[in-house]
């Protein structure tokens, strides 16, 4: 299977659909091998623009969603990033690529939290296999609490849907001027993707588009009653 050609074709279609516009995000999407974050039987679908099952009842997001979220975050070299919802580790790898584009000595780092132990373990393996393990730290836990140990963060990315009330720890742990990208709404998939920027006197909130994400489960998220 020629994955490089398939990756190029997918990126070209995301550019044509105006989803991908930032040259660094384009470069990162061309570089990170999505197939290496999937189980062997799912690899042939790696470059279909669709979510794919990764086990534990969870999915890797569709590539257009990865692209859109990276563009919203406007990731810059040396950014310290917190991701909630490691899943396969693919989006964390994209972020790691973006903080070190043209800058192998990047001071940036990606901290990513996953509540499912088995997914976190697999994501670590995927990140090692693809060479991102030094730029990404995988943490097992409830990401709705954030990760105060390394706060504040320049960018926070949440890849599961929060209730309308955004988890307070995430807003607190965001750097002044920083950006939080988060889907929020109901557990049954009526959700919007938000860009939230922390300013001196307010949080500037912009709704971007309707989305469908698996729920964010945790103290400041949804309960796991019906899991
Ligand atoms: N970013 C992932 C990737 O690139 O594969 C896809 C993430 S998947 C759509 C959402 C993930 O969020 C799931 O793996 C789920 O277990 C995780 N999740 C849900 N609630 C969480 C929480 N409170 N803390 C950490 N992870 C959580």
| Predicted confidence pLDDT, tens digits, the chain (227 residues) | 799 999 999 999 999 999 999 999 999 999 999 999 999 999 999 999 999 999 999 999 999 999 999 999 999 989 999 999 999 999 999 999 999 877 767 789 999 999 999 999 999 999 999 999 999 999 999 999 999 999 999 999 999 999 999 999 999 999 999 999 999 999 988 999 999 999 999 999 999 999 999 999 999 999 987 55
**pLDDT on residue 89:** 98
**pLDDT on residue 71:** 98
HEC string for the chain: CCHHHHHHHHHHHHHHCCCCCCHHHHHHHHHCCHHHHCCHHHHHHCCCCCCEEEECCEEECCHHHHHHHHHHHCCCCCCEEEEECCCCCHHHHHHHHHHCCCCCCCCCEEEEEECCHHHHHHHHHHHHHCCCCCCEEEEECCHHHCCHHHCCEEEEEECCEECCCCCHHHHHCEEEEEEEEEEEECCCCCEEEEEEEECCCCEEEEEEEEECCCECECCCCECCCCC
**pLDDT on residue 184:** 98
**pLDDT on residue 106:** 79
**pLDDT on residue 166:** 98
| 58 close to ligand 1 (CB < 6 Angstrom) | yes
Domain ranges of the chain: 3-226
Ligand 1 atom having least distance to the Cα of 221: 23
Give the closest residue (by CA) to ligand 1 atom 20.
Answer: 216
Which among 38, 50, 57, 85 is the best mutation to test ligand 1's pocket, defined by most ligand atoms within 8 Å of the CB?
Answer: 85
What is the architecture, at CATH level 2, of domain 3-226? 3-Layer(aba) Sandwich (3.40)
Which among 159, 167, 182, 215 is the best mutation to test ligand 1's pocket, defined by most ligand atoms within 8 Å of the CB?
Answer: 159
**pLDDT on residue 101:** 78
> Is 61 in the active site?
yes
């Amino acid at each position: 299977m020629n994955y490089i050609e398939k990756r190029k074709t997918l990126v070209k279609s995301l550019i044509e659909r105006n989803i991908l516009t930032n040259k660094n995000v384009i470069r990162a999407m061309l570089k990170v091998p999505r197939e290496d974050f999937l189980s062997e039987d799912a690899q042939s679908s790696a470059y279909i623009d669709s979510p794919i099952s990764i086990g534990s009842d969870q999915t890797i997001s569709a590539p257009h969603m990865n692209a859109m979220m990276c563009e919203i975050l406007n990731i810059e070299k040396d950014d310290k990033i917190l991701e909630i919802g490691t899943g396969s580790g693919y989006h964390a790898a994209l972020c790691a690529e973006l903080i070190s584009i043209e800058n192998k000595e990047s001071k940036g780092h990606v901290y990513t939290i996953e509540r499912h132990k088995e997914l976190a373990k697999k994501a670590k393996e995927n990140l090692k296999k693809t060479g991102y393990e030094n730029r990404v730290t995988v943490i097992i836990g409830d990401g709705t609490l954030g990760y105060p140990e390394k706060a504040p963060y320049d960018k926070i990315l949440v890849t599961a849907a929060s209730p309308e009330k955004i988890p307070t720890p995430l807003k607190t742990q965001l750097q002044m001027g920083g950006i939080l990208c988060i889907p929020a709404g109901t557990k049954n998939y009526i959700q919007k993707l938000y860009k939230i920027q922390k300013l001196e006197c307010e949080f500037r909130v912009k709704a971007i588009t309707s989305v469908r994400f698996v729920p964010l489960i945790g103290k400041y998220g949804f309960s796991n009653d019906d899991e």
